[in-house]
C-alpha cells in the first residue's frame, strides 16, 4: 500500500523544503515527551547512543546494516525492561524511540527488514505508555490483564475532497471489501483525532480497543490511496506483510501464558468472554424442545454484554433436542389413530427413544439458529453460525481458517454461535489424551480432546485469548461431593490443587459431558490464561451477576486467598460465641474494659489512621455530613471509652439471666433464661466509632460478630479491629469478632442464612432499604429513615422551645436522631416566635424549607420544601404550621419514620396525649430529640435504633441482642401422668427470681 502525502497531511502543518527543514518543522510541533524521545540522550548511556547512530544510518540509507543493529538493540531484553519501568522520569525507552522516531518521521517502507521485531517493540511499549492531554505519558495504572486490550492505529488527516475521491474510485471498482476497509481505517473518534492534532504529528496513537469508534484494522491491498505531492514523497507499507491486524491475535501455536483474574471483583474488566450453554440449561426436562424462558434470559444478558462493548462468543447445545421435537411430531403423524389415542400404548415414548441423534441434530440446526437470530434481533445484535468437528482442530489449515473466521466476525461486531456438527461428528473417544501434532519433526501439545461442548469451549477460549469462560450447567457450581448427597458443600472458589478433594457424580441425561468434564476443561483453560466460572444457567441473571463480581457459581483461580472465606469466618465466629458463653461474667467484663483502655492508650494510632481516611475522603469529594460521621476526635474517643465502661458494668447479669420461674408440679420447675442470638452481621457506613461499640455489645451478650464497614473508613476500621482482636485474645476468643473484607458483596452476605442469624444495618436510608429488600431469610434489625419532629405547642415555654430546637438540629445534624421537621402551632405566627426561630436557625447556618401551609402564611419566606418526608442529614430542615395537637399527631403519623418525636409544652395533659397517641420508638416531652441514644439512655452503647414493631425497639443495647430459652428440671415426670385420671396435677405456681 503506497501512500503519498500533500502538505496538508500533518494535521495542519505545511511541511516543505529540504530534508533538514522538514525535520525541524516536525520537531517543533511535537510534544515535549515525544521530542525527548528523538533527541540524543546522555553520553553515559551507550546503548541509547548506539541507537541514535543506527537511526541516522537507517535514515541515510544504510538499511541492511542498521536493520541488523536495530534488531540487536531490540533483543536487549534486560536493558529494555529497565527503561520501560513505569516512572514519571522515564518517558523514553529504546522500544519507544524505535517506534516513535522511525514510524512517525522516516520512510517506514524500509522497515520490512525487521517488521516483526518492530511489531514486538510496539506491543511492549504500549504496555507502559498512552497519550493523555497532548503528552506521551506512562500507563502506570494500566492493569496487567488490560495490556492485551491496547491497540495502535495510524491516524491521518485527509481533506473531504480526498475521501470523496477515494470513495468514487472504490464504487467504480465495485469492491465491497474496500468500503469496509475505508470504514475501519478512517472511523476513529474525534477525541483521538483532536489529541493527535494538538500534538502536531502524524503519530502513533495508543488507544484502548474498547468499541468507541476506533479503527480496528489497517488493510493493505494492490489499490493505491494517494494524494499528489512532489515535495514529500513518503511511502508507508504495512509492517509485517500486507496487513497490520489491530485485533487480538488468534495464533494457533504456542504463545506466552497470560495472567488470569485473581478475584471476582476483577471479572467486570473482562472484555472478551465465551459463554457455553449446556444441554441441561436450554433443554426442557423431558429432553424434547427448548426451555424458551431460560434461553431468552441468557440471550438478553449476552446481548447486553455485547452492547456494552464486550466481545461475546457463544458455544451452544440444543440442536438434538430441537430436532427431536420436530421428528417426534412427524412420527406422531405417521401413527394410526388407535396408537395415537390409546393412553396405554407406549408407541409414542418408544418412537422418541428410537430417534437417531445425528438425524435430530441435522433437522434441528436450522431451527435453533432461526430462534437465536430472532431473539438477538430484538436487541439489534447480529450473529453467525459456526459448525465445527474434531478434525477441524487437528488439521492445521482448517484450524487457522476457523480462528481467522472468528477474528473477522468479532471485528465486525457479530456474535459467533459455535456448536459441534453433531450430524457428522465421529463417536466420542473418552480415552483420548491431549492430541499431539508434529510440526517440523517436533511434537507440540495443541489442545484438549474435543469430547463435548465443555472441551470445545475451553479450546476456543484459549485460542481466541478470551478473558473469561462461563460454563453454564444445571448445578450451582462445584461441590466437594455430588450435590444430592448429605453434607455436600458448594465451593465458591476452586484451584488446581483441590482436584483430588472432590467426588464427581453422573452426567446429565441430556448432555454429553459431566461435572468431571467441566472441571477438566476449566482447569485446562485456566492453565492457558483464561479465567473460568461454572454456574447454574437456570439462575436468574447469572451472567450479569458474574460480571458484576457477585458470588455466583464456582470461580476458578490460580491464587490461594490470603484471607479465609467469609463462610469460614462466620463459622469461627459461632465457635467464638460459644467460648464467650462459657466465660464467667467477670471475664467478659474484663475483656470489654481492656478494649476501653486500649482506646485511650492507642489514641494517637487511631487518629493517624482516621486522618488517612479523611484525607482520601476529601480527595474523593465525600459530602460534608459523611465527613462529619467519618471523623474521629479525642472527645469522641473519650465518650466511646465511657460507653464501653458502662457496658462492662452491665455485663454481669446479661447472659443467663432468669426472666421467669414457674413451678409446674412437685419436683418440676421451669425457667426462662437469656441466651445470645448467635452470629450477628453489622453493616455500617462512615462511622468507625460504631465498630468498638458494637464489638463491646457482642462481647457483653456473648454473640459472634461479623463487621462490614465502608471503604471510606478502611484504615480506621482496621486499626480499631486490631484493638478488638487484642482484647479478645486475653480470653482466648479472638475469632469471635471479625472484620469482613470490603471485597465481599453485601448481596452475597445476605444469602448466608446458614451462618448469620441477625443483620443490623447502620447507615443511610438507601443502605437500610437495600438490605431489607434483599435479605429474604435473615431478619433485619434497624430503621431506614430518621425523620424526627419537634412540635411547639400553643402552651409552650418559648425559651425552652428555642433551646430544644437548636440542640435537636444543630448539635449533630448528620445523626439519625436530629430534627428534620419543626411543627409550630399557628398561634406562634403572630407573637414573634416564628421570626425568632428563623433568625436563630439562620445564624447557625441552617437552610430552611417551608411547608405548604407555612407558605400560605408568608408573602416572602423560605423556599417551598420538595416534600415533608425528607431526611436531610445536614444543616437543613423543614418548618410547617399546624392548627393544634391533633393535626400535629396526624402529621407525624403521615410523614414520620417512627424514630423520635418531641412535644414542647407546659400543658401536661397535652403532653400525655401526644406521648400516648404518637406511635414512634421514642416520644419525648420538653427534651431534645438527641437524647434518643443508647449511651444517653444508660445502655452503655447501642447496636442501632430499631423502628420495627418487635421486641427490640428504639436504641438497641445488650437486651436487644439476646433471646431466651426454656429450661425444665424434673424427676422422671411424664406427660401421661398429668392426663385425666393421672397420678399428678399441675400447680403452675410463679416463683421469685433468684438471679
pLDDT at 200: 32
Mean pLDDT of 856-884: 90
Categorize the per-residue pLDDT at 745 as very low, low, confident or very high, splitting at 50, 70 and 90: low
pLDDT at 942: 79
Give residues with Cβ within 8 angstroms of 479, minimum separation 6: 488, 489, 490, 491, 502
Query: 246 and 209 in contact (C-beta within 8 Å)?
Result: yes
Please identify which residue in the block is written with the cell numbers 458448594.
Answer: 490
Q: Which cell is 687 given?
A: 462511622
Is the pLDDT at 80 greater than 60? The verdict is no
| Span of 476-490, 518-532, 653-667 with lowest mean pLDDT | 476-490
846: which DSSP letter? P
Check residues 341 and 30 and name the one with the higher pLDDT: 341
Is the pLDDT at 96 greater than 60? The verdict is no
pLDDT at 337: 62
Question: Which of 789, 790, 786 has its CA nearest to residue 762?
Answer: 786
Q: Pick left, alpha or beta for residue 213 (phi over 0 → left; psi -120 to 50 → alpha; otherwise beta).
A: left
Question: pLDDT of 121-146, one tens digit each?
Answer: 444 444 444 433 333 333 333 334 33
Categorize the per-residue pLDDT at 169 as very low, low, confident or very high, splitting at 50, 70 and 90: low
Give the three-state DSSP class for 359.
helix
Is the pLDDT at 520 greater than 70? The verdict is yes
pLDDT at 232: 31
Give residues with Cβ within 8 angstroms of 71, minimum separation 6: 114, 117
Is the pLDDT at 381 greater than 90? The verdict is yes
Question: Which of 323, 311, 417 has its CA nearest to residue 373?
Answer: 417
Percentage, residues of the chain above pLDDT 90: 36
Query: 668 and 968 in contact (C-beta within 8 Å)?
Result: yes
Helix (H) or strand (E) holding 422: none
Is the pLDDT at 818 greater than 80? The verdict is yes
Strand-pairing partners, residue 208, are 150
Categorize the per-residue pLDDT at 205 as very low, low, confident or very high, splitting at 50, 70 and 90: very low
Q: How close are the terminal C-alpha atoms of the chain, in Å? A: 96
Mean pLDDT of 376-390: 90
Categorize the per-residue pLDDT at 623 as very low, low, confident or very high, splitting at 50, 70 and 90: confident
pLDDT at 363: 81
Give the integer Cα–Cα distance in Å for 554 and 536.
10
Categorize the per-residue pLDDT at 807 as very low, low, confident or very high, splitting at 50, 70 and 90: very high
Please identify which residue in the block is written with the cell numbers 476513529.
Answer: 188
Question: pLDDT of 271-304, one tens digit each?
Answer: 999 999 988 888 887 766 788 889 999 999 999 9
Categorize the per-residue pLDDT at 334 as very low, low, confident or very high, splitting at 50, 70 and 90: low
Is the pLDDT at 202 greater than 50? The verdict is no
Categorize the per-residue pLDDT at 768 as very low, low, confident or very high, splitting at 50, 70 and 90: confident
Give the integer Cα–Cα distance in Å for 644 and 697.
8
Supply the mean pLDDT for the chain: 73
pLDDT at 255: 52
Phi, psi of 617 (to 5 degrees): -65, -40
Categorize the per-residue pLDDT at 959 as very low, low, confident or very high, splitting at 50, 70 and 90: confident
Is the pLDDT at 43 greater than 50? The verdict is no
pLDDT at 302: 95
Give residues with Cβ within 8 angstroms of 183, minimum separation 6: none
Categorize the per-residue pLDDT at 609 as very low, low, confident or very high, splitting at 50, 70 and 90: very high
Q: Which cell is 16 given?
A: 516543505
Categorize the per-residue pLDDT at 83 as very low, low, confident or very high, splitting at 50, 70 and 90: very low
Check residues 218 and 395 and name the one with the higher pLDDT: 395
Give the burial class of 484: count Cβ atoms within 10 A of its Cβ; 0-12 exposed, 13-18 middle, 19 or more buried: exposed
Check residues 507 and 684 and name the one with the higher pLDDT: 684
Phi, psi of 531 (to 5 degrees): -75, 145
Looking from the CA of 656 toward its CB, the CA atoms found within 13 Å total 13
Query: 268 and 549 in contact (C-beta within 8 Å)?
Result: yes
Query: What are the Cα distances from residue 914, in Å, to 227, 545, 926, 954, 978?
Result: 89, 49, 12, 18, 50
Query: What are the Cα distances from residue 652, in Å, to 106, 874, 955?
Result: 85, 39, 21
Give the integer Cα–Cα distance in Å for 825 and 832.
12
Give rounded-to-5 percent helix, strand, coil for the chain.
Answer: 45, 15, 40
- 504-515: b (≥16 Cβ within 10 Å) or e: ebebbebbbbbb
Question: Which of 389, 375, 445 has its CA nearest to residue 418?
Answer: 389
Categorize the per-residue pLDDT at 504 as very low, low, confident or very high, splitting at 50, 70 and 90: low
pLDDT at 3: 34
pLDDT at 56: 41
Check residues 215 and 667 and name the one with the higher pLDDT: 667
| Span of 231-245, 596-610, 709-723 with lowest mean pLDDT | 231-245
Mean pLDDT of 629-636: 90
Check residues 34 and 786 and name the one with the higher pLDDT: 786
List the beta strands (DSSP E) in 779-888: 788-792, 819-825, 847-850, 876-882
Is the pLDDT at 789 greater than 90? The verdict is yes
Check residues 336 and 936 and name the one with the higher pLDDT: 936
β pairing state of 311-316 and 272-277: parallel
Give the burial class of 431: count Cβ atoms within 10 A of its Cβ; 0-12 exposed, 13-18 middle, 19 or more buried: exposed
| Span of 344-358, 423-437, 548-562, 654-668 with lowest mean pLDDT | 423-437
Chain centroid offset of residue 266 CA:
8
Helix (H) or strand (E) holding 26: helix 19-28
Q: Domains along the chain?
A: 19-245 (no CATH), 264-556 (3.40.1160.10), 566-651+678-774 (3.40.605.10), 788-942 (3.40.309.10)
Question: Which of 671, 744, 751, 729 has its CA nearest to residue 967?
Answer: 671
pLDDT at 146: 37
Is the pLDDT at 506 greater than 60? The verdict is no
| pTM score, whole prediction | 0.61
Categorize the per-residue pLDDT at 561 as very low, low, confident or very high, splitting at 50, 70 and 90: low
Is the pLDDT at 1 greater than 90? The verdict is no
DSSP H stretches of helix in 529-602 = 542-547, 566-582, 585-601
Is the pLDDT at 8 greater than 60? The verdict is no
Query: 902 and 808 in contact (C-beta within 8 Å)?
Result: yes
Check residues 770 and 800 and name the one with the higher pLDDT: 800
Mean pLDDT of 175-192: 39
Check residues 843 and 500 and name the one with the higher pLDDT: 843
Amino acid at each position: 500500500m503506497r501512500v503519498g502525502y500533500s502538505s496538508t497531511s500533518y494535521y495542519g502543518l505545511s511541511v516543505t523544503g529540504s530534508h533538514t527543514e522538514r525535520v525541524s518543522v516536525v520537531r517543533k510541533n511535537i510534544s515535549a515527551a515525544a521530542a525527548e524521545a528523538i533527541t540524543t540522550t546522555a553520553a553515559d548511556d551507550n546503548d541509547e547512543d548506539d541507537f541514535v547512530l543506527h537511526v541516522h544510518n537507517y535514515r541515510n540509507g544504510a538499511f541492511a546494516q542498521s536493520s541488523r543493529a536495530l534488531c540487536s538493540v531490540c533483543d536487549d531484553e534486560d536493558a529494555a525492561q529497565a527503561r520501560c519501568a513505569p516512572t514519571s522520569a522515564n518517558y523514553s525507552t529504546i522500544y519507544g524511540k524505535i517506534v516513535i522516531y522511525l514510524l512517525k518521521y522516516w520512510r517506514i517502507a524500509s522497515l520490512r527488514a525487521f517488521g516483526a521485531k518492530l511489531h514486538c517493540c510496539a506491543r511492549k511499549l504500549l504496555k507502559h505508555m498512552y497519550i493523555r492531554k497532548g503528552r506521551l505519558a506512562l500507563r502506570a495504572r494500566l492493569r496487567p490483564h488490560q495490556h492485551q486490550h491496547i491497540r495502535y492505529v495510524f491516524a491521518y488527516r485527509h481533506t473531504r475532497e480526498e475521501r470523496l475521491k477515494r470513495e468514487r474510485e472504490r464504487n467504480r471498482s465495485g469492491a465491497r471489501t474496500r468500503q469496509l476497509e475505508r470504514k475501519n481505517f478512517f472511523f476513529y473518534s474525534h477525541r483521538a483525532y483532536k489529541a493527535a492534532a494538538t500534538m502536531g504529528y502524524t503519530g502513533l496513537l495508543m488507544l484502548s480497543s474498547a468499541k468507541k469508534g476506533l479503527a480496528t484494522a489497517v488493510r493493505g491491498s494492490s489499490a493505491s490511496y494517494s494524494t499528489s505531492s512532489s515535495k514529500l514523497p513518503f511511502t508507508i507499507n504495512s509492517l509485517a506483510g500486507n496487513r497490520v491486524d489491530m485485533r487480538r491475535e488468534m495464533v494457533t501455536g504456542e504463545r506466552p501464558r497470560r495472567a488470569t483474574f485473581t478475584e471476582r471483583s476483577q471479572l467486570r474488566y473482562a472484555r472478551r468472554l465465551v459463554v457455553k450453554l449446556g444441554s441441561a440449561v436450554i433443554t426442557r426436562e423431558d429432553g424434547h424442545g427448548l426451555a424458551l424462558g431460560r434461553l431468552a434470559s441468557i440471550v438478553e444478558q449476552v446481548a447486553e454484554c455485547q452492547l456494552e462493548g464486550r466481545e461475546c462468543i457463544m458455544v451452544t447445545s440444543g440442536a438434538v433436542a430441537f430436532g427431536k421435537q420436530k421428528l417426534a411430531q412427524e412420527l406422531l403423524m405417521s401413527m394410526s389413530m388407535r396408537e395415537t389415542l390409546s393412553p396405554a400404548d407406549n408407541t409414542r415414548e418408544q418412537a422418541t427413544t428410537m430417534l437417531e441423534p445425528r438425524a435430530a441434530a441435522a433437522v434441528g440446526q436450522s431451527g435453533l439458529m432461526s430462534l437465536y437470530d430472532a431473539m438477538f434481533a430484538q436487541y439489534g445484535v447480529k450473529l453467525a453460525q459456526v459448525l465445527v468437528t474434531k478434525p477441524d482442530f487437528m488439521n492445521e489449515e482448517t484450524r487457522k481458517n476457523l480462528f481467522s473466521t472468528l477474528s473477522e466476525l468479532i471485528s465486525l461486531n457479530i456474535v459467533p454461535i459455535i456448536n459441534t456438527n453433531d450430524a457428522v461428528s465421529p463417536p466420542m473417544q473418552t480415552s483420548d489424551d491431549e492430541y499431539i501434532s508434529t510440526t517440523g519433526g517436533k511434537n507440540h501439545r495443541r489442545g484438549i480432546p474435543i469430547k463435548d461442548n465443555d472441551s470445545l469451549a475451553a479450546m476456543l477460549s484459549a485460542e481466541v485469548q478470551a478473558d473469561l469462560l462461563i460454563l453454564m450447567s444445571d448445578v450451582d457450581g462445584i461441590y466437594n461431593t455430588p450435590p444430592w448427597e448429605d453434607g455436600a458443600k458448594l465451593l465458591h472458589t476452586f484451584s488446581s490443587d483441590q482436584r483430588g478433594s472432590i467426588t464427581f457424580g453422573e452426567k446429565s441425561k441430556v448432555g454429553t459431558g459431566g461435572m468431571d468434564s467441566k472441571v477438566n476443561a476449566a482447569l485446562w483453560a485456566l492453565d492457558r490464561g483464561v479465567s473460568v466460572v461454572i454456574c447454574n444457567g437456570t439462575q436468574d441473571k447469572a451472567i450479569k451477576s458474574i460480571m458484576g463480581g457477585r458470588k455466583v457459581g464456582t470461580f476458578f483461580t490460580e491464587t490461594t486467598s490470603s484471607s479465609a472465606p467469609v463462610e469460614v469466618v462466620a463459622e469461627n465466629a459461632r465457635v467464638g460465641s460459644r467460648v464467650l458463653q462459657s466465660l464467667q461474667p467477670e471475664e467478659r467484663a474484663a475483656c470489654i474494659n481492656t478494649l476501653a483502655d486500649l482506646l485511650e492508650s492507642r489514641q494517637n494510632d487511631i487518629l493517624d489512621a482516621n486522618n488517612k481516611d479523611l484525607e482520601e475522603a476529601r480527595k474523593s469529594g465525600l459530602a460534608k455530613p459523611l465527613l462529619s460521621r467519618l471523623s474521629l476526635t479525642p472527645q469522641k474517643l473519650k465518650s466511646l471509652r465511657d460507653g464501653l465502661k458502662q457496658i462492662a458494668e452491665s455485663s454481669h447479669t446479661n447472659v443467663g439471666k432468669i426472666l421467669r420461674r414457674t413451678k409446674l408440679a412437685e419436683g418440676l420447675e421451669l425457667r426462662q433464661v437469656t441466651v445470645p442470638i448467635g452470629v450477628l452481621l453489622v453493616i455500617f457506613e462512615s462511622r468507625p466509632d460504631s465498630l468498638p461499640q458494637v464489638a463491646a455489645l457482642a462481647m457483653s451478650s456473648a454473640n459472634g460478630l461479623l463487621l462490614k464497614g465502608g471503604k471510606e473508613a478502611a484504615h480506621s476500621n482496621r486499626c480499631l479491629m486490631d484493638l478488638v482482636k487484642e482484647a479478645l485474645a486475653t480470653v482466648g476468643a479472638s475469632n469471635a469478632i471479625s472484620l469482613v473484607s470490603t471485597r465481599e458483596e453485601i448481596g452475597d452476605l445476605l444469602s448466608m442464612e446458614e451462618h448469620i442469624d441477625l443483620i443490623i444495618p447502620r447507615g443511610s436510608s438507601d443502605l437500610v432499604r437495600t438490605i431489607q429488600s434483599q435479605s429474604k431469610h435473615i431478619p433485619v434489625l434497624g430503621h431506614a429513615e430518621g425523620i424526627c419532629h419537634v412540635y411547639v405547642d400553643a402552651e409552650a415555654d418559648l425559651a425552652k422551645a428555642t433551646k430544644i430546637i437548636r440542640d435537636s438540629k444543630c448539635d449533630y445534624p448528620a445523626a439519625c436522631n436530629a430534627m428534620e421537621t419543626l411543627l409550630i402551632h399557628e398561634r406562634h405566627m403572630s407573637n414573634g416566635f416564628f421570626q425568632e426561630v428563623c433568625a436563630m436557625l439562620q445564624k447557625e447556618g441552617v437552610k430552611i424549607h417551608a411547608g405548604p401551609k407555612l407558605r400560605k402564611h408568608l408573602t416572602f419566606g423560605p423556599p417551598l420544601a420538595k416534600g415533608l418526608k425528607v431526611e436531610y442529614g445536614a444543616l437543613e430542615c423543614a418548618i410547617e404550621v399546624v392548627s393544634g395537637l391533633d393535626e400535629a399527631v396526624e402529621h407525624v403519623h403521615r410523614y414520620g419514620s417512627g424514630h423520635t418525636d418531641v412535644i414542647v409544652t407546659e400543658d401536661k395533659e397535652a403532653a400525655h396525649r401526644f406521648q400516648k397517641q404518637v406511635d414512634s420508638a421514642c416520644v419525648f416531652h420538653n427534651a431534645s430529640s438527641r437524647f434518643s441514644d443508647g449511651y444517653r439512655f444508660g445502655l452503655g452503647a447501642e447496636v442501632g435504633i430499631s423502628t420495627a414493631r418487635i421486641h427490640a425497639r428504639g436504641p438497641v443495647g445488650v437486651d436487644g441482642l439476646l433471646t431466651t430459652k426454656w429450661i425444665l428440671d424434673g424427676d422422671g415426670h411424664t406427660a401421661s401422668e398429668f392426663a385425666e385420671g393421672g397420678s399428678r396435677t399441675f400447680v403452675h405456681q410463679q416463683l421469685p427470681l433468684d438471679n
